[in-house]
Structure 1
């Protein structure tokens, strides 16, 4: 599934804005250092004039030893660093900042798209999932066990430990997670927590509600004009490093859905690409709802994590209502 020219230009414009923002931040830090660290600006000017003077002499035909200039610049840099750190600033305070250190906010490493650019493409093409927004309200910093008790609490701690292992071993250990249990027990929340950590590590993640995924496939499967588009969608689904299918079982199940789900799971397994599925279905319901080969594929290739307990969304809703009534 390819970007339009307008979508590509929009992403590149975002990178330009990032670079402009970081340049402005650096200029503000430089200005502050010039104003507060005595002698720093003079050393900076001396560095610039030394380079300019050396260049002019080279252009005039003088035969000069470049190592002399190198040693002079290194000594000036050493003196600047001493002034900076003695004034209480970190040694990298005047380094350029980047949102992505790998591509320096250009979107490319050499001629190859950076991982951050690839993820921007995914987010642009599949913006219905709104994954970046979801990670702001669902991440490990906000994860809490206060809604679980007894056996439910044990299951929660086990699921969190498994999620952390999944993240830590993501690059070395091919693994899939099947997170199931009763409504409102934090299954989707945990899957987004995992997505957030992997996005921060630079991995590509596609997140779909089950209903949204099969609607997208159906929209493009039954119109011959969209064959090219459909091929692109399949490549994205099969090749992204992590695919999350949320709320499996909420879609309208039929032979098309069963066929597409099996193909997706099978292709991703062949390519050793990780998948996370969340569902409210029990294992018995899963087997009844989908074909035996799908059930077999899931039970043989996925690690099962069960969450149980009260409906957390309902608990929060009641708490908000009581708070509003009290006020």
Structure 2
């Protein structure tokens, strides 16, 4: 999924706006300096004149390209140093008239060659985090903050594993889910257990890690999920008509705290349709619930 075509175009429009803003700032600086130091205007005009003259000489074969390039570079260097000295005399930095960029690496284009610049990747991550619904918790709820010592190391009753051994297995499965996300598309997780054992925290850990890798993740509580499904189905709001496709096609959908909603036949059918569509499209889903497997089977 990543970002949509519209979101991509919005990013490119941002870059256009940045370039226009910086160009206007450059022109304001140039006019200010020209008014204060007229000699710099003359130098810029001379640089332009020399560049055109050398280009004509090369076109007319009056001078070899190598000689013309060497001569032009020498002339421009001398004139540029003269500009730098004039700026310094008036307490301006040497790069005051240089092009202005928010990102010098891609020159505010978003691309270095045919590769997205790190600033473009950051914009993508910001969009993905905003639409994920975990933006507020992403910084705190991560694997590095997951404490297994919260869980008892003592086994109880007929349990084969202690709570700590169990959560260590769960973490191992979760990390494998992340590492194999691209190589095994469409894998799913069903996380169940009593309230307070860390299901939501774990879901957010997985979501945060995948978001940092540029995957499209949407997190919703079961209540939010079914409420928006109903809005879409019954067309109660025009904005919500665009929500269902996001559920269906995001790289990872997390439905948290699934519970007694399953007693409703409409909800059961809508949940099935959504999950089935995602399976067909090889999109991953995580569902967490306080219900036991036996209770789920009875629903």
Q: TM-score, normalised by structure 2?
A: 0.61
Aligned twin of 1:35: none
TM superposition shift of 1:202: 0.5
Q: Are the aligned partners of 2:262 and 2:268 in contact in 1 as well (CA < 8 Å)? A: no
| Deviations 1:105-135 (CA, angstroms, capped at 9, x unpaired) | 4689xxxxx8547626x71xxxxx7311121
TM superposition shift of 1:59: 1.0
Aligned twin of 1:295: none
- 1:206 aligns to what SS in structure 2? strand
Aligned twin of 1:173: 184
Equivalent runs, 1:172-321 vs 2, <5 Å: 172-174=183-185, 175-223=187-235, 226=237, 229=239, 231-251=241-261, 253-289=263-299
Q: Distance in 2 between matches of 1:205 and 1:154?
A: 29
Which structure 1 residue ranges, 4+ long, deviate > 3 Å from structure 2?
Answer: 11-16, 51-56, 66-69, 94-98, 103-108, 114-118, 228-231, 250-253
Root-mean-square deviation (CA), in Å? 4.1
| Deviations 1:255-303 (CA, angstroms, capped at 9, x unpaired) | 11101100011000000000011111100011112xxxxxxxxxxxxxx
Which has the greater radius of gyration? 2
- Greater relative CO (CA pairs within 8 A, separation 6+): 1
The alignment of Structure 1 onto Structure 2 pairs a total of residues equal to: 219
Equivalent runs, 1:1-327 vs 2, <5 Å: 56-60=49-53, 61-63=56-58, 65=65, 68=69, 96=105, 102=116, 105=119, 115-116=124-125, 119=128, 123=131, 130-150=133-153, 151-174=162-185, 175-223=187-235, 226=237, 229=239, 231-251=241-261, 253-289=263-299
Structure 2 unaligned regions, length at least 5? 1-5, 23-43, 78-102, 154-161
TM superposition shift of 1:197: 0.6
Q: Are the aligned partners of 1:118 and 1:204 in contact in 2 as well (CA < 8 Å)? A: no
Structure 1 unaligned regions, length at least 5? 1-6, 24-50, 77-93, 109-113, 124-128, 290-327
Q: 1:161 to 1:56 in 2, by over 3 A?
A: farther
